[in-house]
A and B are shown apart, each in its own frame.
Chain A
Amino acid sequence: MLQEESDLSLVIAQIVQKLKGSNLYAQLERQAWASLQRPEIKLESLKEDIKEFFKLSGWEKKLQNAVYSELNVFPLPSHPAAPPEHLKEPLVYMRKAQGSWEKRILKSLNSMCTELSIPLARKRPVGEQKELLNKWNEMGTDEPDLSLFRPVYAPKDFLEVLINLRNPNYENGDSLSFRTHLGLIQVPLKVKGIPELKEFFVELGLTTGQLGIDDSTQVPPELFENEHVRIGQKVLAEQDSAAAQQYIRQGSPTALRAELWALILNISSQPEDILYYEQLKTNVIQHDLLVDSLIYKDVKLTASNDDYYFVFEDYLYQVLLCFSRDTSVLGHFAYNSASPPKSYIRGKLGLEEYAVFYPPNGVIPFHGFSMYVAPLCFLYHEPSKLYQIFREMYVRFFFRLHSISSHPSGIVSLCLLFETLLQTYLPQLFYHLREIGAQPLRISFKWMVRAFSGYLATDQLLLLWDRILGYNSLEILAVLAAAVFAFRAVNLMEVTSLAAAEAVLADLSTLKVMPLLQIFLFATVT
């Protein structure tokens, strides 16, 4: 009890510390000062009156949402004395693995620089700046020659790293037992089993109404949909993040999704946010970075060729180029096992005082990175808003899909969860695929790394991401990946090669995610 209390006060202290530097804090202070002029604020009950004023004027709700948002993003400190790197990643071998992976990425990036003799960054000549400014809204029409560029890495390179991950303190042993993990991931991490998942995803149960199931044309809207939409409007009217997050576990109505997600992510497009975005845009226009070419290349290779997202090509550049310049993204490295790569001013290699993060946001895009943004273009049309939403989604969720960590939403845990689910609940299928050299993870890894973006139909993907936001967890990705295998199990049992298995699972655009998830978790005997 005492422990809990001290934990709580620690959390409070941390959040207060965090919020003190925020814009909201300044606004609240201003509002408090301004409220002194009001007749209902009395000197004798000053504190209470101001509290009351905050409540009535909606500022209290804003503060609540901000606190809630902090709670969602920041991991709770395990011990007041824990060093900051424990916040990043408590396990030493994970930290080491991430470190050497970063070195490899950097090496690859550097060698590309040398090979092509392109600087990491350069100032654009004025003429070029003007040109870029003029075509800001149609950057997709630009056709730079990118044939020499190659993505720094692709998901399959990353998978190889994860496969080789070992815990030095853990004896794997040679003798097979029923506990032996037969999958590719060989690190011991705690992952949920179906009973725990059932408990965790309780709102996805058979007795709860779901968008993605109960709004199909066969179901009259009076049964669920109409009421659900009505509640959604109420949640939005209340402007309560926590309520929105709970609500969205049952799925968001199409028309309300943009606002609900913004509420959950605590994004409100203030004038200063728009200004901030404009500043980033200016940075893009003034400086040319090597990563820009990587972004271009990635968009051309992925989103522009996508049947759904090709329309949004221009938006993707507008978001991703600005993202690479945004130093506020660096903040998330406090709780990300990854660390931003450093570059040194020419001739000062190794001198810490001449080190800069490169790219400025510390994130090196890889093959498929732009697919994190693409589905959001379906919801947001204002570039600055789209940008904010993406940035928040990245620092809350997406970074975990390409950093090595032991976090339950981290990609290692997701892989392990996926393999464990298959090995435990579909052992015949798992064994069969393993025997023919088609380890299931080799197929499902790319789905999870991209959070299924580009694999599912847009409506289905958004329903899936609703649940990511609703549960503040990426574990649903592993569950869905396992459910897809289960769904196509009959066909998979007949294949005899990895290529054939890949063919069976090549097209996921016809799948309906919610029924799949629901049946996998709830409608089977366990």
Chain B
Amino acid sequence: MNFKTSSPSWPRAVAAVLRESSAGLAGGKATKTWDSKLYSAISGTLGEPWNLEKLLENQNCKGYGVPKGKEREQRASIRFKTTPMSTLMDVLRHRPGWVEVKDEGDWDFYWCDVSWLRENFDHTYMEEHVRISHFRNHYELTRKNYMVKNLKRFRKQLEREAGKLEAAKCDFFPKTFEMPCEYHLFVEEFRKSPGITWIMKPVAGSQGKGIFLFRRLKDIMDWRKGTAGKKLTSSEPQPARSTVNPSGGHDTRSSDEPKDEIPVENYVAQRYIENPYLIGGRKFDLRVYVLVMSYLPLRAWLYRDGFARFSNTRFTLSSIDDQYVHLTNVAVQKTSPDYHPKKGCKWMLQRFRQYLVSKHGPEAVETLFSDMDNIFIRSLQSVQKVIISDKHCFELYGYDILIDQDLKPWLLEVNASPSLTASSQEDYELKTCLLEDTLHIVDMEARLTGREKRVGGFDLMWNDGPVSSEDGAPDPSGLGNFVANTHLGRWGQVGRARGVGLERSHGGSVAQWLDCFKLIHNLPAV
């Protein structure tokens, strides 16, 4: 039982807590009278919020609740709490046996946002069965500067322990320097290869704000002078949650870490990928979902579906010249007359994969996708020892990957709160399925055996070692014909594909169909 205890308007909250929790614990037997009686009792007598906990426990002892310790087996319902996101709420509310907790209610499952986590995680006591949707220090992976720092360190460690070849497998992020602390290193690198384009982004930037490209050192010095005075970039109001961002530029992601935490200087300078792979003249990036259930040991699942987000504008480098060019892709798109937010400039990964196969053949695409697997694994390994391991936590990461013209994937960033807002029907289906499958793996209902290699659209990608797609025990040493258990973009529309047969939805099996055909077919048999 854990209460959030710091709310100023507690009496109302208390009522809510009691109502919700009693409904949860007693399987809906609680009555209004019980509620109001209790409410008057508390509001009349109690001063210290923590006493409520005691009171409720007393109530439990009177038989309304379930004795502690047996909760996991006997819980009639799972009390969940969530940030108000439509897709997420739809999924959680429709899950059988799950009840929503409002306001300060007591919960078993909380899909929280990272700002809540930052403020409350350390003061929250969680019981054995309770699950929460982030790791305490998720930002080790999801903030650009930390991610790069961790990857660089991991790379060095690999080089020491396993040699250069192994370390080279970590070369999937563009050269990045943290500003201002690595400014001198950056200048050194900058001078080494003149003429290339660099991109500056705030470490926890969102929606392309504060991003710009440059080719001359002078630009960045001017900029530093400018921002030092104004401090504009960080004080702009941020939307609470990143919404779907159809721009496809790799410059416009949100990491959802609130900005107020970050001083204005916290930028990274990153080598700009000048030869992105283009489809129809448009730049795009890929969004891939990875679910981490535990860091020690590392246990990660890869979702089969995801999408490519296209930029509405045509890619060109010619506009980057002497001055700053702010890549306000989203802003540009929102004012362009053909911007239809509902249109959704997305391709499901399956379609993307198919497109690439038709252009480059299956082998090249196989290589590309296994290079992407490598990115997921290495990036998670790089923070494995840094992230505070906690069995209450799980996290659904949104990876942003850019592909260049040589079919090499680059890691742009990892999002702790990938947007779950849907931009189209197809997108809605993808996201609801993604969330449902995530909940299946989180497994509040204790239905899994723990030996599953696939749950819904998720494939177990790493289980303290690589997972083979073949049946039988995972065999990390078998270098021979090891096939990784990853199927990114292999079947599209995960949700729909469940019923295999003539149609991907509505579960029409061949036999069923034949039956209905015969029904109507009234020709004499020959």
Nearest CB to that of A490 among chain B residues?
B516
For B338, list chain A residues within 8 Å (CB): 140, 143, 300, 304
CB neighbors of A among B346-361 (8 A): 346-347, 350-351, 354-355, 357-361
Contact of A524 among B314, B354, B521 (CB under 8 A): B521
CB neighbors of B among A230-259 (8 A): 254-255, 257-258
Nearest CB to that of B359 among chain A residues?
A381
CB neighbors of B among A369-397 (8 A): 377-379, 381
Indicate if A269 sits at the interface (CB-CB under 8 A): no
For B354, list chain A residues within 8 Å (CB): 254, 378, 458-459
Q: How far is the CB of A312 from chain B (nearest CB, A)?
A: 5
For B504, list chain A residues within 8 Å (CB): 510, 512
**B340-A305 in contact (CB<8A):** yes
For B351, list chain A residues within 8 Å (CB): 308, 457-459
- Is the contact region of chain A dominated by helix, strand, or loop, or is it mixed? helix
Of the listed stretches B234-242, B475-483, B507-515, chain A binds: B507-515
Q: How far is the CB of B46 from chain A (nearest CB, A)?
A: 56
Most chain A CB within a 10 A radius of its CB, from B314, B520, B521:
B520
Indicate if B344 sits at the interface (CB-CB under 8 A): yes
Docked pose: A525 CA to B280 CA in angstroms: 47
Indicate if A199 sits at the interface (CB-CB under 8 A): no
CB neighbors of A among B460-519 (8 A): 490-493, 496, 500-506, 508, 510, 513-514, 516-519
Indicate if B526 sits at the interface (CB-CB under 8 A): yes
**B281-A137 in contact (CB<8A):** yes
Indicate if B343 sits at the interface (CB-CB under 8 A): yes
Most chain B CB within a 10 A radius of its CB, from A138, A143, A255, A490:
A255
**A311-B310 in contact (CB<8A):** yes
Indicate if A429 sits at the interface (CB-CB under 8 A): yes
**B503-A312 in contact (CB<8A):** no
For the A-B complex, the count of residue pairs with Cβ-Cβ distances under 8 Å equals 121
Indicate if A23 sits at the interface (CB-CB under 8 A): no
Of the listed stretches A63-71, A148-156, A334-342, A420-428, chain B binds: A420-428
**A523-B502 in contact (CB<8A):** no
Nearest CB to that of B363 among chain A residues?
A255
**A311-B347 in contact (CB<8A):** yes
For A525, list chain B residues within 8 Å (CB): 518, 521, 523, 525-526
For A441, list chain B residues within 8 Å (CB): none
Indicate if A53 sits at the interface (CB-CB under 8 A): no
Docked pose: A314 CA to B362 CA in angstroms: 27
Indicate if A516 sits at the interface (CB-CB under 8 A): yes
Q: How far is the CB of B361 from chain A (nearest CB, A)?
A: 4
Docked pose: A125 CA to B492 CA in angstroms: 48
Docked pose: A523 CA to B517 CA in angstroms: 10
Indicate if B326 sits at the interface (CB-CB under 8 A): no
Q: How far is the CB of B503 from chain A (nearest CB, A)?
A: 5
**A217-B491 in contact (CB<8A):** yes
Indicate if A310 sits at the interface (CB-CB under 8 A): yes
For A300, list chain B residues within 8 Å (CB): 338
Q: How far is the CB of A325 from chain B (nearest CB, A)?
A: 22
**B347-A308 in contact (CB<8A):** yes
Indicate if A487 sits at the interface (CB-CB under 8 A): yes
**B514-A519 in contact (CB<8A):** yes
**A489-B520 in contact (CB<8A):** yes
**B501-A515 in contact (CB<8A):** yes
For A312, list chain B residues within 8 Å (CB): 280
Q: How far is the CB of A132 from chain B (nearest CB, A)?
A: 15
Q: How far is the CB of A212 from chain B (nearest CB, A)?
A: 11
Indicate if B313 sits at the interface (CB-CB under 8 A): yes
Proximity bits, B321-350, A CB within 8 Å = 1, else 0: 000000000000000111010011111001
For A218, list chain B residues within 8 Å (CB): 500
Q: How far is the CB of B179 from chain A (nearest CB, A)?
A: 34
Indicate if A511 sits at the interface (CB-CB under 8 A): yes
Indicate if A298 sits at the interface (CB-CB under 8 A): no
For B347, list chain A residues within 8 Å (CB): 308, 311
Q: How far is the CB of B513 from chain A (nearest CB, A)?
A: 6
Most chain A CB within a 10 A radius of its CB, from B337, B338, B510:
B338
Docked pose: A308 CA to B345 CA in angstroms: 9
Proximity bits, A505-517, B CB within 8 Å = 1, else 0: 0000011100110
**B526-A486 in contact (CB<8A):** no
Given A308-B347, A313-B280, A487-B513, are A516 and B358 also a contact pair (CB < 8 Å)? no
Indicate if A447 sits at the interface (CB-CB under 8 A): no
**B517-A314 in contact (CB<8A):** no
Indicate if B424 sits at the interface (CB-CB under 8 A): yes
**B503-A512 in contact (CB<8A):** yes
Docked pose: A116 CA to B328 CA in angstroms: 38
Indicate if A169 sits at the interface (CB-CB under 8 A): no
Q: How far is the CB of B132 from chain A (nearest CB, A)?
A: 34
Contact of B521 among A304, A308, A425 (CB under 8 A): A425
Docked pose: A515 CA to B504 CA in angstroms: 12
Contact of A510 among B279, B424, B505 (CB under 8 A): B505
**A486-B520 in contact (CB<8A):** yes
Indicate if B6 sits at the interface (CB-CB under 8 A): no
Q: How far is the CB of B280 from chain A (nearest CB, A)?
A: 4
Tell me the count of chain A residues lying within 8 A, CB to CB, of chain B.
51
For A425, list chain B residues within 8 Å (CB): 521, 523
Nearest CB to that of B491 among chain A residues?
A217
Given A311-B347, A429-B520, are A137 and B510 also a contact pair (CB < 8 Å)? no
Contact of A487 among B280, B357, B503 (CB under 8 A): B503
Indicate if B299 sits at the interface (CB-CB under 8 A): no
Nearest CB to that of A426 among chain B residues?
B520
Indicate if B437 sits at the interface (CB-CB under 8 A): no
Indicate if B371 sits at the interface (CB-CB under 8 A): no
Indicate if B282 sits at the interface (CB-CB under 8 A): yes
Nearest CB to that of B523 among chain A residues?
A526
Given A255-B361, A308-B351, are A314 and B280 also a contact pair (CB < 8 Å)? yes
**B503-A510 in contact (CB<8A):** yes
For A358, list chain B residues within 8 Å (CB): none
For B525, list chain A residues within 8 Å (CB): 525
Contact of B496 among A377, A379, A510 (CB under 8 A): A510
Proximity bits, A432-452, B CB within 8 Å = 1, else 0: 000000000000000000000
Q: How far is the CB of B312 from chain A (nearest CB, A)?
A: 8
Docked pose: A516 CA to B508 CA in angstroms: 11
Most chain A CB within a 10 A radius of its CB, from B314, B358, B519:
B358
Q: How far is the CB of A260 from chain B (nearest CB, A)?
A: 11
Q: How far is the CB of A377 from chain B (nearest CB, A)?
A: 7
Docked pose: A471 CA to B345 CA in angstroms: 35
**B362-A310 in contact (CB<8A):** no
Docked pose: A82 CA to B30 CA in angstroms: 91
Contact of A523 among B280, B506, B514, B526 (CB under 8 A): B514
Indicate if A141 sits at the interface (CB-CB under 8 A): yes
For A313, list chain B residues within 8 Å (CB): 280
Proximity bits, B109-149, A CB within 8 Å = 1, else 0: 00000000000000000000000000000000000000000
Q: How far is the CB of A139 from chain B (nearest CB, A)?
A: 10
Docked pose: A307 CA to B345 CA in angstroms: 8
**A524-B514 in contact (CB<8A):** yes
Q: How far is the CB of B514 from chain A (nearest CB, A)?
A: 6
Nearest CB to that of B315 among chain A residues?
A138
For A427, list chain B residues within 8 Å (CB): 520, 522
A459-B354, A515-B510 known; 7 other A-B pairs, CB under 8 Å?
A: A141-B336, A300-B338, A314-B314, A490-B519, A519-B513, A524-B517, A525-B521
Instruction: Give 5 closest A-B pairs by Cβ, nearest first.
Output: A311-B280, A138-B314, A255-B361, A510-B504, A254-B357
B-side residues, CB < 8 A to A, are 279-282, 310, 313-314, 336-338, 340, 343-347, 350-351, 354-355, 357-362, 424, 426, 490-493, 496, 500-506, 508, 510, 513-514, 516-523, 525-526
Some 10 contacts from A to B, beta carbons below 8 A apart, are A254-B362, A255-B362, A258-B359, A307-B426, A310-B310, A487-B502, A510-B493, A510-B496, A515-B501, A524-B517
A-side residues, CB < 8 A to B, are 137-138, 140-141, 143, 216-218, 254-255, 257-258, 300, 304-305, 307-308, 310-315, 377-379, 381, 424-429, 457-459, 486-487, 489-490, 493, 510-512, 515-516, 519, 523-526
